[in-house]
Amino acid sequence: MTLGEVSLKSSIREKIEWAEAFYLKYRDRFIKDPEICELLHRLKEAIYASRREMANIGMTVECEFCEKDEGGSCCGAGMEDRYDGGLLLINLLLGAELPKRRYDPASCLFLGPDGCLLLAREVICINYLCQKILEHVDSKGIASLREKEGVELEVLFILRERIRKICNTSYPTLSQKVRNCSKSTAK
């Protein structure tokens, strides 16, 4: 398989195929970089801290109930189209598996029976809170969650930039491929 260009307009299947091929071909180059290793570790910690806080404030239970008993809407089909190849590549570097088929036809490709299958998520998936959550979770809980989400987003941004920098300086032939599949971060 060649590592042709992929963009945000590409289908999610094409983005997944690109990320998996790119990961298989270049993962050693990224994993050998001490800064990327440290950022991946920090990102995992930040993700787990955010998710623990979601559970602590009762958001996880509210979201599960809404998805299973009220039809959900936050993680609806089509949300996966917001993801780019670069973010999918980061998920692979974090050890996540990218799904080949949808768990629920009405839901996002990345939504499994126990929530999101991805570790690194798009900004909207991290910080969107529906009115029901805002009404049921106290403001201190929301503030605590927002603080942890901020750390997660900051580390994710720094990691994306480090990957771009490595591609631009060490592997110029990779830079255009990463730039083309990560255009959503510039918007």
Q: Which two tokens stand for residue 25?
A: 């071909």
185 assigned to some structural domain:
no
152 assigned to some structural domain:
yes
Assess contact for 80 and 108: CB atoms under 8 A. yes
pTM of the model: 0.86
120 assigned to some structural domain:
yes
Residue 182 clears pLDDT 70, i.e. is over it: no
Give the model confidence (pLDDT) of 26-81 as tens digits: 899 999 999 999 999 999 999 999 999 999 999 998 888 888 888 777 898 999 99
65 assigned to some structural domain:
yes
Task: Please report the pLDDT score of residue 178 as a whole number.
Answer: 55
Host domain of residue 50: 12-179
Q: Based on the structure, what is the number of domains in the chain? A: 1
Residue 179 clears pLDDT 70, i.e. is over it: no
123 assigned to some structural domain:
yes
75 assigned to some structural domain:
yes
Task: Please report the pLDDT score of residue 8 as a whole number.
Answer: 75
The closest of 40, 25, 152 to 96, measured between CA atoms, is 40
135 assigned to some structural domain:
yes
7 assigned to some structural domain:
no
Confidence at 2, pLDDT banded by 50, 70, 90:
very low
Residue 112 clears pLDDT 60, i.e. is over it: yes
Task: Please report the pLDDT score of residue 170 as a whole number.
Answer: 57
